[in-house]
Amino acid sequence: MMNLLSGHMEDWSTPQYFCFAIRCEVCGEFWYSSSIPFSKAAQAADCLEKKELYDAIYQREKVRAKLAAGKEARELFSQCPICGRLVCDSCFLICDEIDMCRECACRMKERGEPVMP
């Protein structure tokens, strides 16, 4: 699941903070992870001669932020067992036999309640 989430993540980070987005493949709405500020954002802007050092720190923190975003997204996204797409909780239905995305449920005429109404 983490690999799937990681593969769908879009980088919306800036030099000041880290933020990642995942797009629900059913409703198309983007989910944005909690923005994590870059610890050296202020210093990096002031001290250009240490750019290489701060770039390394930035990359290290970005990897961590991406992991954190993945953990955060894992609570809000599911993989549809029918179509295999990554869907948000609003589009993922709890059905009687097997949970699935809204579109698959509609196609198979299954009824269910969304995880997050």
Partner 1 sequence: MRMQYLLLFLLLCMLLTGCAADLTGGYLIPAAEGSEEYVTTLNGYLSEYETRNLKENLYVETADGNATACFDVQAMPAIDHGVGRYWYSHVLATVVIAVDRTRTDAVITGWKSLTESQIRVGMSSTSVIRNMLVIGALSYGLNPAAPAKQDALDFLEQLSRNGGFELDESDAPILLCLDYEAAAWNRNGQNYEVIVPEEGTISYRLGLLSDVPLTLESGLDESLLSAGFPLASGERPQGFPSNYQSAHTLRAEDYDWFLELAGDSSRDLRREVFHTRLYTTADLREHILSALLIAVVILLWKGTVSHRMLRHDVQWIVGAMCWSMVGWLLLRLFKYQLFSEGILCRICWYGYYIFQLILPVALLCLTEIIDRPEGERSPLRPLWPPFVFYVLSVILVLTNDLHHMVFRFEPGGNWNSDYYYGPGYWIIMAGSLLALVLAVGKLLCMGRRNTHWGGKIFPLLFCAGLLAYIIAYICRVPLVWESDLTVCICIISILFFETVLHSGLIPVNIQYKKLFTAAPVGLTLFDEKGRAVLSSCGTVPISPSIWRRMHMDPHKPLLRDSDTQLHAIPVHNGMAVWQEDISQLNRLKKEIQNVQSRLEAANNLLQEEEEIKKRLMAAETKRDLFEQLNCDIEHRITALSREIEKLPETGCPKGTTAYIALCLCHIKRRCNLFFLDRQGESLLREELSIYLNELAELAGYVGIQMLIRYGRAGALDIRCAALCYDYAFETILWMLKSNASVLIGYMESEGSNLIFRFLPGCDSRQWHYSEKFMAEISALGGEITYKDLDDAVGICMTLPLGGENCD
Give residues in contact with partner 1 (CB under 8 A): 12, 14, 16-17, 19, 21, 23, 27-35
Q: Taking the complex as a whole, how short is the minimal distance between the CB of residue 79 and partner 1, in angstroms?
A: 19
Q: Which is nearer to partner 1, 73 or 100 (CB)?
A: 73
Q: Taking the complex as a whole, how short is the minimal distance between the CB of residue 31 and partner 1, in angstroms?
A: 5
Identify residue 72 by its one-letter amino acid code: E
Give which of 62, 66, 64, 107 is closest to 83, Cα–Cα: 107
Q: How far is CA 55 from CA 10, 17, 19, 62, in A?
A: 20, 13, 17, 10
Q: Which is nearer to partner 1, 7 or 28 (CB)?
A: 28
Q: Taking the complex as a whole, how short is the minimal distance between the CB of residue 29 and partner 1, in angstroms?
A: 5
Identify residue 37 by its one-letter amino acid code: P
